[in-house]
Amino acid sequence: MSDNLARQHRLRIAMVVPPWLSVPPPGYGGLEQVVAGLVDALVARGHAVTLMGAGAAHGTAADFLATVDELQFDRLGEALPELAHLARINHLLSRADFDIVHDHTTIGPLVAGRRDVPTVATVHGNPVGEYGTVLSDTDRGVGLVAISHAQRGLNPHLPWVGTVHNAMSLDDFPRKDSPSDGPVLWLARFSPDKGPDLAIRACRAAGLPLVLAGKCNEPVERRYFDEVVRPMLGSDVTVVLDADRSTVLRLLIEARCLVMPIQWEEPFGIVMLEAMATGTPVVALNRGAVPELVRPGVSGLICQQPDELPAALRQAPELDPKECVAHVARTFSTERMAVGYEEVYRGFLAAANRREPVREPARVTPA
């Protein structure tokens, strides 16, 4: 469908986000950052978008409808706040007001079958184990959208109706024109999956300073930091906990590279786009969606084993910051993401109108 034709067929979209954080978020919050870019791009393409979340105000071009006055971040990890949020949303939705619901919550696919409006739900986590079991019970009238081919491949029998890569607006990022000789940056939540211990070892082997900028406000994160990371710290490692957005951007600009020594099948990794958008190359282990995001020798370096990281960290400043930015602009623009979701919306609605199955039956994936 051409852009002109797409604009002529205006969709009324209910964009449902979890009740924890604002959109965009003030600091950590990859999901919320992506949704903010998607919402603005869809509005720019002529669609009517209503963002449904929590709190008093959000910073997007969409209309905003809150289910509760206060953000529920302090109750993150509890089931009831999200269930109550979704129950209120379900009462607010009507075919008279919306053509489609785009749900970004964890529990949303389980309760979307109660809605009068067709729903597609983006899966933001790894669709295996307990989460995979939950997703396998998705109502047959709900379609799931993957954020990478790697993620979808982990559980191919779920009710997938499309794959759309995350994206972001380059307008939100400062850019550097030349490589930096600053420290290596690790930017993630403190978890063994994210490999901060490997980052420390790799930087020490390379003789390079490291900044660990981590989310550390949940009990499991604080415990991991205290028990595993803190004993490894030395004068060559600077720790920045729970950085706000301006601090994150400053650290990205100053860094020689971003290191991603991940120890799990990362379903996407929005922080890699953030780094490349500032002109900072990525050095990562080849897990999950890394090869879908990083272009080796252009926007970063991909290592097969942890012992390859030190050499790659030393080599990273040889990459051109402008090429890193250009890679994000070509491949991960919010416009491209919006077009991808438009195709998902229209295909899903067309199949629903024909009363045709839009995917194969789901199968439970063992934990």
* 3-169+333-353 and 171-330 agree in CATH topology: yes
The pLDDT value given to residue 20: 92
The pLDDT value given to residue 355: 65
Distance CA 68, CA 230 (A): 38
Residue type, 163: T
Distance CA 223, CA 286 (A): 27
Residue type, 267: P
Q: Domain residues of the chain, as ranges?
A: 3-169+333-353, 171-330
Per-residue pLDDT tens listing for the chain (367 residues)? 445 444 458 999 999 999 999 998 876 678 998 999 999 999 999 999 999 999 987 889 999 999 999 999 889 878 899 999 999 999 989 878 999 999 999 999 999 988 989 999 999 999 999 999 999 999 878 999 999 999 999 999 999 999 999 998 898 799 999 999 999 999 999 999 999 999 999 999 999 999 999 999 889 999 999 999 999 999 999 999 999 889 999 999 999 999 999 999 999 999 999 999 999 999 999 999 999 999 999 999 999 999 999 999 999 999 999 999 999 999 999 999 999 999 999 999 998 887 655 444 344 334 3
Alpha helices in the chain (DSSP H): 3-8, 30-44, 79-92, 108-111, 129-136, 149-154, 196-206, 219-224, 245-254, 270-277, 290-293, 309-315, 321-331, 334-353
Distance CA 209, CA 49 (A): 45
Distance CA 9, CA 109 (A): 26
Distance CA 245, CA 217 (A): 16
The pLDDT value given to residue 361: 39
CA dihedral 76, 65, 112, 358 (to 10 degrees): -120
- Backbone φ, ψ for residue 281 (5° rounding): -70, 160
Model confidence pLDDT, tens digit, residues 30-70: 899 899 999 999 999 999 999 999 998 788 999 999 999 99
Q: Which CATH class is domain 171-330?
A: alpha beta
Which CATH code fits 3-169+333-353?
Answer: 3.40.50.2000
pTM of the model as a whole: 0.90
- Backbone φ, ψ for residue 24 (5° rounding): -75, 165
Model confidence pLDDT, tens digit, residues 7-19: 458 999 999 999 9
> Can you name the residues that pair with 182 across neighbouring β-strands?
none
